[in-house]
């Protein structure tokens, strides 16, 4: 699995962090999403796909 965040699209809503807190975090200064890892363990796949699905900005791309 490979994850990317388009930080230019991110609107700092935080849904990705709620969906997969081991994979996503938000910058303290502006809330823009950052990756804690870009290749998480397979058991996190469902959470990562959920995060991508609920992102209101469609800023998260997941390649399996």
- Find how far residue 11's CA is from the centre of its chain: 12
Q: 11 or 36: whose CB is closer to ligand SF4?
A: 11
Closest CB 9 distance from ligand SF4, rounded Å: 7
The two three-digit tokens of residue 59, written as one number:
């800023």
Tokens 């399996």 belong to which residue?
Answer: 64
CB 34 within 8 A of CB 24: yes
Closest CB 64 distance from ligand SF4, rounded Å: 19
- Where on the chain is the footprint of ligand SF4 (CB under 6 A)? 5, 10-16, 26, 33, 55-57, 59-60
The two three-digit tokens of residue 20, written as one number:
């997969």
Closest CB 28 distance from ligand SF4, rounded Å: 13
């Amino acid at each position: 699995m490979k994850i990317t965040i388009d930080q230019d699209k991110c609107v700092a809503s935080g849904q990705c962090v709620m969906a997969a807190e081991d994979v996503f975090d938000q910058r303290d200064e502006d809330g823009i999403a950052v990756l804690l890892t870009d290749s998480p363990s397979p058991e996190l796949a469902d959470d990562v796909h959920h995060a991508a699905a609920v992102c209101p900005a469609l800023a998260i791309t997941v390649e399996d």
